[in-house]
């Protein structure tokens, strides 16, 4: 298939939307890392910046959805063009949600800085955030390079994030049982871990959209679900 449309303005529209997605992706990646760093370094100022910066991410999502609606109305996209428009709408939604989770981590950091740190949990959470951030980077790379193999690799890696969450969950549970004074902090830390785990799910959804965009097929949910948590209840 040829790369270029006969109507070059159509190509420019599609490129513009994808550039917005990449810009949004870059901001979200930074928000994840900043959130983890602000937690680890107990940097309240940085945490505030994340909360303010989330508005830019929300505005970008809005803009992408409007542009996508325009392209549908004016260009009646079909086949790969249609899949591209459908995928940018979903991906922008996923990125916006990840941004919200980062903002929520920043909010909890604002509370946690006034409490005694619980063990070295902040660095464990930072490693988890790092994993999610790399997954997101690879998912966005696979999108730009139209690389379904890299996207499938990202989908596989979400399993590791799920495992990290499970072990943090058990750790926090132990701390709370050991000393009830840890409960408030551990509740917040647990929600942060859960936020990161949910981010991983949204990154997986983005990677699935890449596979759909390139192949026209949504990948099967064959990934083994981490259900070790179920055994703890």
Partner 1 sequence: MDDLRLVERDVDANNVKISAQKVQVYYGSNHAIKDVDVDIEDKTVTAFIGPSGCGKSTFLRCLNRMNDTIDVCRVEGTINLDGEDIYDERVDPVQLRAKVGMVFQKPNPFPKSIYDNVAYGPRIHGLASNKADLDVIVEKSLRRGAIWDEVKDRLDAPGTGLSGGQQQRLCIARAVATEPEVLLMDEPCSALDPIATAQVEELIDELRQRYSVVIVTHSMQQAARVSQKTAFFHLGNLVEFGETGQIFTNPEDPRTESYITGRIG
Residue number, 23 or 83, with CB nearest to partner 1 = 83
Binding mask 7-46 vs partner 1 (x if CB under 8 A, - otherwise)?
x--x------------------------------------
Burial 129-153 (b: 16+ CB within 10 A, else e): bebbbebbbbbbbbbeeebbebbbe
Q: Nearest CA to 49 among 25, 61, 33, 26?
A: 33
The CB-of-213 to partner 1 minimum distance in angstroms stands at 11
**How would DSSP label each residue in 126-154?**
HHHHHHHHHHHHHHHHHHHTT-HHHHHHH
Residue number, 4 or 232, with CB nearest to partner 1 = 4
Whether the Cβ atoms of residue 91 and residue 23 lie closer than 8 Å to each other: no
Binding mask 73-102 vs partner 1 (x if CB under 8 A, - otherwise)?
---xxxxxxxx-------------------
> Which range touches partner 1 (CB under 8 A), out of 62-70, 71-79, 114-122, 203-211?
71-79
Instruction: Confirm or reject binding of residue 6 to partner 1 (CB under 8 A).
Output: yes
The CB-of-82 to partner 1 minimum distance in angstroms stands at 6
Q: What is the CA radius of gyration of the chain?
A: 19
The residues of the shown chain that bind partner 1, judged by CB under 8 A, are 1-7, 10, 76-83, 216-217
């Amino acid at each position: 298939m040829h790369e270029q449309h006969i109507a070059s303005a159509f190509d420019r529209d599609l490129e513009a939307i994808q550039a917005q997605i990449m810009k949004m992706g870059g901001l979200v990646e930074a928000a994840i890392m900043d959130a983890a760093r602000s937690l680890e370094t107990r940097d309240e100022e940085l945490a505030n910046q994340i909360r303010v910066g989330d508005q830019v991410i929300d505005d970008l999502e809005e803009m992408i959805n409007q542009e996508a609606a325009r392209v549908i109305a004016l260009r009646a996209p079909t086949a790969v063009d249609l899949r591209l428009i459908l995928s940018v709408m979903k991906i922008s939604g996923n990125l916006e949600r990840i941004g919200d989770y980062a903002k929520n981590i920043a909010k909890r950091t604002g509370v946690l800085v006034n409490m005694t740190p619980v063990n070295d949990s902040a660095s464990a959470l930072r490693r988890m955030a790092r994993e999610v951030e790399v997954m997101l980077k690879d998912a966005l790379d696979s999108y730009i390079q139209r690389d379904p193999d890299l996207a499938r690799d990202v989908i596989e890696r979400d399993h590791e994030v799920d495992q990290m969450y499970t072990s943090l969950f058990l750790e926090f549970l132990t701390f709370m049982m050991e000393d009830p004074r840890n409960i408030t902090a551990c509740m917040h830390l647990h929600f942060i871990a859960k936020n990161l785990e949910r981010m991983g799910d949204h990154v997986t959804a983005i990677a699935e959209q890449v596979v759909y965009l390139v192949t026209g097929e949504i990948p099967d949910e064959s990934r083994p679900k981490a259900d070790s948590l179920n055994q703890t209840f």
